[in-house]
Amino acid sequence: MKDRIFYLDFLKKNGRPLCETYIGSDEIALKVEDALQALELIKDSQTIIIGGDVLSEDNNKLMYAHQLWGQEYHVLNWYLDTEDYKRNDFLKSYHIAKEAIINANNIANKLKKKCYIVFVVE
């Protein structure tokens, strides 16, 4: 529980609220470096990462990456089907998330774009 509180505090301190662009959203986007650090907090709390969204920035506004980079990048967002994991598979979700973040960041670097991550956790 304590690690989950650290994670939520980390989001508030380091993240950018999506409500800046998407009114009513309570999600928070993290820069890639911060997202990787947040992953460690999530891992320690044994929280399953259900999925994640990849965002980028246009005129200082956060938008879903595929809206800026092209529809072919919609596949950068990821999720676990609830049939694919069990309660004790938090490590599997952690590894999937880490791989997805690194992949999205590599593409962002090639495109010379900024990359942000929004986690969807249980």
Set out the domains of the chain in order of their start, with CATH numbers: 2-121 (3.30.190.30)
pLDDT for the residue numbered 93: 87
Classify the C-alpha dihedral 78-81-82-84 as positive or negative.
negative
Say which amino acid occupies 41: L
Who has greater pLDDT, 59 or 21? 59
pLDDT digits over 90-108, tens only?
A: 788 889 999 999 999 999 9
DSSP 75: G
Who has greater pLDDT, 110 or 47? 110
pLDDT for the residue numbered 99: 96
Residue 102's CB: how many other CB atoms inside 10 A? 12
pLDDT for the residue numbered 48: 84
From 53, 121, 56, select the one nearest 90 (Cα to Cα): 121
pLDDT for the residue numbered 77: 94
pLDDT of 81 above 60: yes
Say which amino acid occupies 64: Y
What's the pTM value of the predicted model, to 2 decimals? Answer: 0.90
